[in-house]
Amino acid sequence: MTKIKNVWKGFALCLAISIPCWFLGNLFPIVGGPVFGILSGMLITLFLKDKSSLQPGITFTSKKILQYAVVLLGFGLNLSVVLETGRQSLPIILSTISTSLIIAFVLHKLLRIPSKTATLVGVGSSICGGSAIAATAPVIDANDEEVAQSISVIFFFNMLAALLFPTLGALLGFSTTSGEAFGIFAGTAVNDTSSVTAAASTWDSLYGLGSATLDKAVTVKLTRTLAIIPITLVLAFVRTRKSESNDSQVKLSAVFPMFILYFVIASIITTLASSFGVPVEFFAPLKSLSKFFIILAMSAVGLNTNIVKLVKTGSKPLVLGFCCWIGITAVTLSLQHFLGIW
């Protein structure tokens, strides 16, 4: 009861911000609700002179609600369908993830970008944008400004991809009678689900393909989402080794991201239920709740972010995001051509 009293004010503020952002995200999917949430929070916090009574609730929302969102995300994954469809795109997915993480590591060293920011941008670029950042941030103990900065970088290149990739696909000669080539391209080269959906839907609309491109792109995208599991576990292990160098009493169990285990369990539940004939639509409310929780958490992240400081320190992460974006796009196109997909 005491905890509820401490957090309700800050939570209520985050909720008030996130509800209109949810609707705005549905109206403008190319931007997405999480970005509206962060931007709104960053603007509103400028007018809050004293956040002391709100801070416990804001912190709870940015940390715990974010973890709950990742767990619920698991209910959108039918592992059998994802793995079956993902076989074709798996070499491309593994290559793009490796490319992004290597670029992030190299530029972290060359440009002296803070390691947590570089990790978030690299993981967000390579796996699934905001969802990957949401899963990774608690594991590496990233602060809200680092999360906000990474989300902002990812959003910028998401928007560019959604706008430019359909034109790029046409220039490169992707098939306009099948959604397979562009669907794989969008599913591997665009990181956030909303932008994947926007790019694939545009291709379907341009060439009258119904939802063929969209279905392919989203399934490939869900296959990439599975990479959240090994990536977060590796990061947890690395963090443990670093902690043990300072404190021999620290064990893996102390920093193991339990919410990732619950994410896996949620995915298994969905897979088993589907095998017994439960329709996919049954889990739709949980998937929607997951998306709303991410917007809710991003509103809290925005409230904890100093926008002036963010602008001053934003150029290097933007360069990193650009390099990851170009690297992923180049690798995706090269492998698709090599494998004869286009």
In sequence order, which residues have a C-beta less than 8 Å from that of residue 114 and are 6 or more positions away? 108, 146
CA distance 298 to 147: 9
For the chain, what percent of residues have pLDDT higher than 90? 26
- Residues 225, 263 contacting (CB under 8 angstroms): no
Residue 313 confidence (pLDDT): 64
Residue 226 has pLDDT above 80, yes or no: no
Computed from CA positions of residues 151, 236, 283, 285, in that sequence, does the dihedral angle turn out positive or negative? negative
Backbone φ, ψ for residue 29 (5° rounding): -65, -20
Secondary structure of residue 50 in the 3-state scheme? coil
Does 199 map to a domain?
Answer: yes
Residue 251 confidence (pLDDT): 52
Does 159 map to a domain?
Answer: yes
Residue 144 confidence (pLDDT): 82
Residue 252 has pLDDT above 60, yes or no: no
Question: 91-134: per-residue pLDDT in tens?
Answer: 888 899 999 999 999 999 999 999 999 999 999 998 877 778 88
Q: What is the DSSP letter of 54?
A: T
Confidence of residue 182 (pLDDT cuts 50, 70, 90): very high
CA distance 69 to 293: 5
Residue 250 has pLDDT above 50, yes or no: no
Q: Which structural domain range is residue 87 located in? A: 77-286+307-338
Closest to 274 measured CA to CA, from 74, 80, 71, 86: 80
- Residues 217, 184 contacting (CB under 8 angstroms): yes
Does 301 map to a domain?
Answer: no
Instruction: Supply the mean pLDDT for the chain.
Output: 84
CA distance 20 to 14: 11
Question: 78-92: per-residue pLDDT in tens?
Answer: 787 667 666 777 888
Residue 219 has pLDDT above 70, yes or no: yes
Biggest CA–CA distance in the chain, Å, is 62
CA distance 67 to 338: 39
Does 24 map to a domain?
Answer: no
Does 51 map to a domain?
Answer: no
57-61, 85-89, 210-214, range with greatest mean pLDDT: 57-61
Amino acid letter, residue 68: Y
* Number of structural domains found in the chain: 1
Does 114 map to a domain?
Answer: yes
Confidence of residue 21 (pLDDT cuts 50, 70, 90): very high
Structure-model confidence comparison of residues 306 and 250, the more confident one: 306
In sequence order, which residues have a C-beta less than 8 Å from that of residue 108 and are 6 or more positions away? 114, 115, 118, 119, 320
Helix count (H) and strand count (E) of the chain? 17, 0
Backbone φ, ψ for residue 179 (5° rounding): -90, 5
Residue 253 confidence (pLDDT): 52
For the chain, what percent of residues have pLDDT higher than 70? 90
Does 58 map to a domain?
Answer: no
Does 161 map to a domain?
Answer: yes
Question: What is the mean pLDDT of the segment spanning 257-269?
Answer: 81
Q: Which of 143-147, 249-253, 271-275 has the lowest mean pLDDT?
A: 249-253
Q: What is the DSSP letter of 31?
A: T
- Residues 100, 125 contacting (CB under 8 angstroms): yes
